[in-house]
Amino acid sequence: MVPTFFSLSFSRLGLWASGVILVIGFLKLLRLLLRKQKLARAMDSFPGPPTHWLFGHALEIQQTDGLDKVVSWAHQFPYAHPLWFGQFLGFLNIYEPDYVKAVYSRGDPKASDVYDFFLQWIGRGLLVLHGPKWYQHRKLLTPGFHYDVLKPYVAVFAECTHDLLDKWEKKAHEDKSFDIFCDVGHMALDTLMKCTFGKGEKGLSQSRDNNYYLAVSDLTLLTQQRLESFQYHNDFIYWLTPHGRRFLRACQIAHDHTDQVIRKRKEALKDEKEREKMQKRKHLDFLDILLEARDESGLRLSDTDIRAEVDTFMFEGHDTTTSGISWFLYCMALYPEHQQRCREEVREILGDKDSVQWDDLGKMTYLTMCIKESFRLYPPVPQVYRQLSKPVNFVDGRSLPAGSLISLHIYALHRNSTVWPDPEVFDPLRFSPENMSGRHPFAFMPFSAGPRNCIGQQFAMNEIKVVTALCLLRFEFSLDPSRLPIKMPQLILRSKNGIHLHLKSLSRGPGK
């Protein structure tokens, strides 16, 4: 009797369970369909490219010329058009300065449909937070980017660059082109760790850094892919797929790395002498600020908050500059006349010194214009997303209700031919002071704009100037025509096949 009772109740249970799952599934689908309808109706007055019945525009975006496809859509559909990643996730894609201003001069929150894909990895740090907590963290961390804090970093940038250049000196001897992206990435990570996390002699091991670096590239690849693949949007389903599991493994590696950075510093702070040293230092670094921070009522940041900020800065602070430096060097190889002019400028400023000082940075005007022009054509962050917290009215009379999703296509914005005549031409003079005045303030936004702009932009510009100036002094860069880069957005702008360049060593040898 007992077994029949059990088997009976088990089969009943099974029946119930499948019934419940079916109902939940049905309700979920209904919710998605209603939302899709709402998003679509809000964009009624915006015509756009035809959508695939299942994939939306994802198939076109994922092709190797996906970025330029959007530029051609921008010509076809002035101001804005709907952009669908699958059937349920639809954005108004914008790329016209006045449209961008209407949204980005306000502080609307990030689109959680996109940024939630980061949560498992970077948690709720500055990039993802919104509302009062974002404001509190932003206020707390802003002093970490004060001019007095940034000044001594110039020496760190130079030191890390010299390590990179010595490595390249060996590779250059082999007389073959090689991928610079990966080496630049290690250098940028090293720099960031030294500046903001005070990595010193007792630094983390090389192999750990390397694993971290590989994990981050994988995480950016997987996140971009997830964003574009509707079948991966649901957390539960994603974690069951091989890609989802790979994502979780990479997260684990990244978190181990972060935990170690935090633990090392906490241990150091326990040491009385170290503590005294820290209090004597005129300015705290980023990690000091996080660990010492108290709010008005004297409450510390929680461990979860600290880890989220460290993970956020770790990612935002090295991958973006890596992309910026690598594409800049590619531009220099592509346009040797500009390369030569930058080099002459740097030689004139530095003379016989082989290092850069803070005061030199302001004098590198041509180099700076070339960096900006390369940011225009190869924006390190090509696309960002928002969700409207209140309705917005655009210049041409069209509008969007609260709750709508916005995709700002920085890549297409930077190719608007009214603002940038002959947009594909590399012309640094576009950024001469005379040509800058009068230009629409939202026509160029590699660092985004408004209240949610990049907190690290000054840090980034300084780093890029120091690194590229020293690179140009030491090497001549040229293309490998058989391996031209293929642009591919992966949260940051990467190249599908790396960035392969030929390097020719100039007269200054290592250690000179």
Q: Which residues are annotated as a binding site?
A: 454
Task: Find out whether 400 and 108 touch, Cβ atoms under 8 Å.
Answer: no
The residue behind tokens 């076109």 is 60
Verify binding: residue 419, ligand NAG, rule CB under 6 A: yes
In this chain, which stretch among 36-44, 93-101, 194-202, 242-250 interacts with ligand NAG, using CB under 6 A? 93-101
Asked if 331 and 338 count as a contact pair (C-beta separation under 8 A), the reply is: yes
Which is nearer to ligand HEM, 145 or 358 (by Cβ)?
A: 145
Q: Which of 343, 346, 369 is nearest to 356 (CA)?
A: 346
Instruction: Take residue 307 and report the two structure tokens written for it.
Output: 């880890």
Contact stretch for ligand NAG (CB under 6 A) within 11-19, 94-102, 157-165, 493-501:
94-102
- The binder of ligand NAG chosen from 432, 436, 441, 496 (CB under 6 A): 432
**Residue tagged 């007095």 (tokens):** 148
- From the list ligand HEM, ligand NAG, none, pick the one residue 321 interacts with, judged by a Cβ distance below 5 to 8 Å according to partner type: ligand HEM
Which of residues 32 and 419 has its CB atom nearest to ligand NAG in the complex?
Answer: 419
Q: Which two tokens stand for residue 313?
A: 């800065």
The number of residues that bind ligand NAG (CB under 6 A) is 17
CA distance 195 to 157: 9
Query: Binding site for heme: residue ranges?
Result: 454
Which of 29, 121, 64, 88 has the alpha carbon at shortest distance from 230? 88
In angstroms, what is the minimal distance from the CB of 481 to ligand HEM? 27
Q: In the complex, what is the shortest distance from the CB of residue 455 to ligand HEM, in angstroms, rounded to a whole number? A: 5
Q: Does 264 bind ligand NAG (CB under 6 A)?
A: no
Kindly report the number of other CB atoms within 10 A of residue 357's CB atom.
Answer: 14
- Residue type at position 291: L
Site membership for ligand NAG, residue 95 (CB under 6 A) = yes
CB of 445 to ligand NAG, least distance (A): 14
Tell the smallest beta-carbon distance from residue 347 to ligand NAG (Å).
22
Binding mask 96-115 for ligand NAG (x = CB under 6 A): xxx-----------------
Distance of alpha carbon 197 from alpha carbon 313, whole angstroms = 10
Residue nearest to ligand HEM (CB): 456
* Residue number, nearest CB to ligand NAG: 432
Residue 412 amino acid letter: A
Helix residue ranges, H only, 403-509: 410-413, 433-436, 457-474
The residue (of 342 and 461) whose beta carbon lies closer to ligand HEM is 461
The rounded distance, in Å, linking the Cα atoms of 78 and 395 is: 12
Burial of 297 (0-12, 13-18, 19+ CB in 10 A): exposed
DSSP secondary structure code for residue 143 in this structure: G
The answer to whether 404 and 387 are in contact (CB under 8 A) is: yes
**Quick one: 168 or 447, whose CB is closer to ligand HEM?**
447
Q: Which is nearer to ligand NAG, 413 or 466 (CB)?
A: 413
Contact stretch for ligand NAG (CB under 6 A) within 115-123, 164-172, 422-430, 464-472: 422-430
d(CA 120, CA 374): 32
95 binds, among ligand HEM, ligand NAG, none (CB under 5 to 8 A by kind): ligand NAG
| DSSP states along 213-247 | HHHHHHHHHHHHHHHH-GGG-SHHHHHHSHHHHHH
Q: Which partner in ligand NAG, ligand HEM, none is near 465 (CB below 5 to 8 A by kind)?
A: none
Encoded one letter per residue, x for contact with ligand NAG by CB under 6 A and - for no contact, window 368-407 reads ----------------------------------------
Could you tell me the strand order of the sheet in which 475-479 lies? 178-179, 500-505, 475-479
Does 49 interact with ligand NAG (rule: CB under 6 A)?
Answer: no
| Residue 414 binds ligand NAG, judged by CB under 6 A | no
Q: Which of 435, 441, 453, 486 binds ligand NAG (CB under 6 A)?
A: 435
DSSP 389-424: SS-EE-TTS-EE-TT-EEEEEHHHHTT-TTTSSSTT
**Least Cβ distance, residue 169 to ligand HEM (angstroms):** 26
- Residue 69 and residue 60: Cα distance in Å, rounded? 7
| Residue 366 interacting partner from ligand NAG, ligand HEM, none (CB closer than 5 to 8 Å by kind) | none
Do the Cβ atoms of 353 and 464 come closer than 8 Å? no
At closest approach, how far in Å is the CB of 411 from ligand NAG? 13
Chain residues that interact with ligand HEM, rule: CB under 6 A: 110, 126-127, 138, 312-313, 316-317, 320-321, 324, 380-381, 384, 446-448, 452, 454-456, 459-460
Tokens standing for residue 91: 């954005």
Among 288, 319, 427, 463, binds ligand NAG (CB under 6 A): 427
**CB nearer ligand NAG, residue 66 or residue 125:** 66
Report which DSSP code applies to 497.
Answer: T
Please give the residue ranges that form the binding site for ligand NAG (CB under 6 A): 74-75, 78-79, 95-98, 416, 418-419, 427, 429-430, 432, 434-435
